[in-house]
Amino acid sequence: MLEVLDLYSKYLSLLLNASWIWSPVCLCVIFFESWMYYIQRVWWGKLDWVILEIKPPRDIESTPKAMEQIFAGLWGAFGTVSTKYQKYFLGMKQDYFSCEIVGINGEIHFYIRGLRKYRDMVEAQVYSQYSHAEIREVPDYVFNVPLNLPNKNWDMWGCKLELDREDYYPLRTYPLLIDLTKTDQPFLDPLAGLMEVMSKLRQGEQIWIQILLRPIEDKWREKARALADKLFGRQPKPKAEGLIKFDIRTWFESISNVLHEIFTNQPGPYAGVAEEEKKDRALLMMLSPAERDIVAGIEEKAGKKGFGCKVQWGYLFKKEMMSMGNVAAVMGIINQFAHLNMNSLKPVRKTITARAYYLFTEQRKFYKKRVLMRWMRSRSLWEDGYILNIEELASLYHFPTIGVKAPATPYIDVKKGGPPVDLPML
């Protein structure tokens, strides 16, 4: 025992004697992290946000394809941080949006929250797909409940959601919800159930669903395709090369093929393009139908623009109005987007407000609720988030189609239009 203690004391002495080497590195890391934490929050506090409520037209017969186009347009906000100075000295991060579906006392609202400088862009994207929609700026609904929630009158249940597998595996999206056997209204709207649940909320009940999305670079698509190649069992494609390097390589391969055929009377080592295609077809036949769907799904997801996302939701209620049926209903609606062979959204266990075991359970539940409420009020997106493409986002957030019959579904009552172009001016 004494020998072990003596050995530990020698190691500790050596570590302390070498502190002049490692302590400056540690101090630099601590300073850098503290500086970034401080400067990013200074920058974030200066941002001017706007909340736009959107009332869609009543006669939407199409699938969420139109909403997919809107998200593709919102991706145009990418590139707000273009220099190292902006990132490390001004604390700037890529701008982001929040798409929100909110039920308050039986009324349903669709919101898009973003920086004021993007208001015209958001309106233009919505009007381009839903020309008769109504868009107006509204006060922030999060201040309709007490700031100190939970308290003696109000309580909540909620959590953040995360992907069950790697980001590159897709969710179940709206193209899989089209019933080809139906001639009228073949699209089975996954939000129909949510509209019914929110329509039946009583006075003193609210459901907030927030989808935060930040445009990201397309580098993730290379990793997605590499994963598809790995699952398929083929070699990953080489990176693109310059024209001169390509010419030199092809010239070398041609000479090698000619010399090999002259001396061996067999095809050269670089004449295997057709063989590779045959090998790929053979590998495809060896995959099960589910495995083929997975590879195809990953490649299809990588074919569309992506966002770094965070999804969070909460059920807020006066204590005498609490109904766990609403919690189960919302989680059931989220499960509609689960593809068990690929990916799904699931609660982040440590954020579930009703989960706490062993010591200080009530205090820890109270703390979780306060933290989640702060997240939902601020809509902060400091993390990178997980990747959802525009098709997945359009499945999660779109305006109800004509087949949704929930009584509180928010539609505009009267279509509006501009005056005739030849109207005389007085």
- Domains of the chain and any CATH numbers: 43-218+305-396 (3.40.462), 236-296 (no CATH)
Taking residue 394's Cβ as centre, other Cβ atoms within 10 Å add up to 23
- What is d(CA 281, CA 407) in angstroms, rounded to the nearest whole number? 52
121: left (phi over 0), alpha (psi -120 to 50) or beta: alpha
- What is d(CA 25, CA 341) in angstroms, rounded to the nearest whole number? 45
Please tell me the pTM assigned to this model.
Answer: 0.84
Strand-pairing partners, residue 158, are: 314
Going from the first residue of the chain to its last (426 residues), give the mean pLDDT of each consecutive group of 10, the final group possibly shorter: 71 78 87 93 94 90 90 94 91 96 95 97 95 94 91 94 96 84 71 93 96 96 90 66 60 65 60 52 70 91 96 95 92 94 94 86 93 95 94 95 77 62 64
379: left (phi over 0), alpha (psi -120 to 50) or beta: left
- What is d(CA 53, CA 66) in angstroms, rounded to the nearest whole number? 18
For residue 152, give the amino acid letter. Answer: K
Pairing of strands 386-389, 205-215: unpaired
Structure confidence at residue 280 (pLDDT) = 55
For residue 234, give the amino acid letter. Answer: R
- What is d(CA 235, CA 237) in angstroms, rounded to the nearest whole number? 6
Structure confidence at residue 425 (pLDDT) = 63
- What is d(CA 258, CA 276) in angstroms, rounded to the nearest whole number? 20
Structure confidence at residue 250 (pLDDT) = 66
- What is d(CA 90, CA 375) in angstroms, rounded to the nearest whole number? 23
Dihedral, CA of residue 66, residue 67, residue 69 and residue 72, to nearest 10: 180
Sign of the Cα pseudo-torsion (400, 402, 404, 409, in order): positive
Structure confidence at residue 23 (pLDDT) = 85
Structure confidence at residue 237 (pLDDT) = 61
- What is d(CA 209, CA 102) in angstroms, rounded to the nearest whole number? 6
CB 133 within 8 A of CB 413: no
For residue 380, give the amino acid letter. Answer: S
